[in-house]
């Protein structure tokens, strides 16, 4: 097999168990194929036994890592942060190979991962510190202790940022970890933890167990009381199974699940600016983000103009080779994902479909940029999480933001939302949206300082910053006598 030059050959077909890079038996090898072109490579498939070896190592290393000072834990993380800068282009090219996103978006992901790590390092002292209170009769001390060995499950769409956020949060909080990346993007995760090893991560503290045997691995790990924390990003269906599995030993769980983000354009908003912002947000990561605008709500009086602006945006967008510097939109992750999107667009919905183009010779599973104008709000294209470059646009009655809110909230999901308008309008709509995150006159709900997470079927718990770090810490309250006052001299 001729290997692609951007692959980290020293990690192919290997696992990291307890900070040791190991080869696996031939029976535990599979082959991955790039969504971005003709490239294949061997990958290790972790077994349930491998996962339990990782937990053995994590449980054994947990006491010493918890006792390690925050300064020393941060020193390891800073070594990883330096790696992100030093190997930025190599990482970006690996991300394109594994996920199919454009090289521009891959470079942006590396930069975002660095910014996330910087913020976690900056706020760690506040997150892990103790607090004292009380009155004349008692001193109340609140301490935060590491929750313990953590299972970190990450998706393929942001293989570096998601893994960096979870792993660095666990490490700074004093938790050992087992990283279970998507079987589609294992090498990015391996590269991350390999960099931590080179930065001085102690034996046992970290493992990587990529595998398509996820259900077996989850059953084995959640059935062991030594596992104390699960942090999962992925589908709502899988999140539900993880939550059910965690009840045997009451592992602490954080779930960042699916979304069906509405983008509400208020009456009188700058329509051209709103449409441009929403469209750019939709194309980011080839439309494959749980926070991407999933449906647009426009006032009836502006609907005709909005439809024309979205029509123009779609027809001007072309799917291209993700390696091209000029590419705005690349392939989706798989042919199955492309087929699902095509089915939703072709199913009865009552709307008008407008599509862009696909450059001849574009590799992978291409789905043309698509807008669906005036579909039935109850149709599948409006109800389901799309996860691709497809965007329905629906009108609501003029000057009735309550109707817009009702449409926006008519979903089981509650991750991200967007609103465009003046301050009075956006304050009203933002307060009424059932979502964990709201972007006002901007195309992203993500920022290193912003707590990231959702409500309803989009999960619970938060990532990023102080809130994200405290997901890996338990509170211990100590009540004791008030120290005697020394007599005045």
User: Active-site positions?
Assistant: 256, 290
Which residues neighbour 384 within 8 Å (Cβ) at sequence distance 6 or greater?
260, 344
Give CA–CA dist 73/190, Å, rounded.
20
Of the candidates 265, 228, 211, the one whose C-alpha atom is nearest the C-alpha of residue 32 is: 211
Residue whose structure tokens are 């607090």: 131
- Sign of CA pseudo-dihedral 385, 387, 390, 393: positive
Q: How many alpha carbons fall within 13 Å on the CB side of residue 81? A: 18
SS3 of residue 209 by DSSP: coil
Of residues 223, 78, 252, 230, the one with CA closest to residue 154? 230
- Could you give the CA distance from residue 324 to residue 425 in angstroms, rounded to a whole number? 40
Residues 190 and 9: their CA atoms lie apart, in Å, by 11
Residue-wise DSSP of 49-65:
HHHHHHHHHHHHHHHHH
Cross-strand partners of 416 = 437
- Residue 127 tokens read as 């997150």
Interatomic CA distance for residues 313 and 114, integer angstroms: 32
**Strand order through the sheet with 131-134:** 131-134, 139-146, 473-480
Among left, alpha and beta (phi > 0; psi -120 to 50; other), residue 459 is left
166: how many CB neighbours lie within 10 A of its CB?
A: 26
Residue 353: other Cβ atoms inside 10 A: 16
């Amino acid at each position: 097999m001729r290997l692609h030059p951007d692959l980290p050959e020293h990690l192919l077909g290997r696992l990291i168990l307890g900070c040791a890079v190991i080869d696996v038996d031939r029976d535990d090898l599979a082959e991955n194929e790039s969504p971005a072109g003709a490239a294949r490579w061997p990958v290790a498939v972790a077994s349930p036994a491998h996962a339990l070896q990782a937990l053995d190592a994590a449980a054994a290393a947990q006491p010493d890592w918890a006792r390690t000072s925050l300064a020393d834990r941060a020193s390891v993380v800073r070594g990883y942060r330096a790696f992100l800068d030093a190997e930025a282009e190599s990482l970006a090219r690996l991300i394109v190979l594994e996920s199919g996103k454009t090289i521009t978006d891959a470079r942006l992901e590396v930069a975002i991962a660095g910014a996330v790590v910087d913020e976690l390092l900056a706020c760690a002292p506040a997150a892990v510190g103790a607090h004292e209170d009380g009155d004349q009769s008692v001193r109340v001390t609140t301490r935060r202790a590491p929750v313990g060995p953590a299972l970190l499950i990450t998706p393929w769409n942001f293989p570096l940022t998601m893994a960096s956020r979870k792993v660095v949060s666990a490490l700074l909080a004093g938790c050992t970890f087992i990283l279970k990346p998507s079987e589609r993007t294992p090498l990015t995760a391996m590269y991350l933890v390999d960099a931590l090893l080179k930065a001085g991560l102690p034996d046992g503290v970290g493992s990587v167990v990529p595998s398509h045997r996820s259900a077996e691995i989850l059953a084995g790990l959640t059935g062991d009381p030594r596992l104390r924390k699960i942090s999962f990003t992925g589908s709502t269906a899988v999140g539900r199974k993880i939550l059910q599995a965690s009840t045997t030993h009451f592992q602490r769980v954080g779930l960042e699940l699916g979304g069906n983000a509405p983008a509400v354009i208020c009456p009188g908003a700058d329509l051209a600016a709103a449409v441009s912002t929403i469209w750019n947000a939709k194309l980011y990561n080839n439309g494959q983000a749980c926070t991407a605008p999933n449906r647009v709500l426009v006032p009836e009086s502006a609907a005709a103009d909005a439809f024309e602006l979205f029509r123009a945006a779609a027809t001007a967008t072309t799917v291209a080779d993700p390696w091209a510097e000029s590419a705005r939109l690349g392939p989706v992750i798989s042919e199955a994902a492309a087929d699902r999107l095509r089915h939703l667009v072709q199913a009865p919905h009552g709307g008008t479909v407008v599509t862009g183009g696909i450059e001849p010779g574009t590799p992978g599973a291409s789905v043309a940029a698509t807008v669906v104008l005036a579909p039935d709000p109850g149709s599948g294209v409006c109800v389901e999480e799309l996860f691709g470059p497809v965007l329905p646009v629906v009108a609501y009655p003029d000057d009735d933001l309550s109707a817009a809110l009702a449409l926006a909230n008519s979903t089981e999901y509650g991750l991200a939302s967007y609103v465009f308008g003046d301050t009075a309008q956006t304050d009203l709509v933002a307060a009424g949206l059932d979502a964990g995150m709201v972007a006002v006159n901007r195309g992203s709900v993500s920022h290193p300082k912003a707590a990231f997470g959702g409500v309803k079927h989009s999960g619970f718990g938060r990532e990023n910053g102080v809130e994200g770090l405290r997901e890996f810490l338990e509170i211990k309250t100590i009540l004791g006598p008030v120290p005697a006052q020394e007599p005045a001299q």
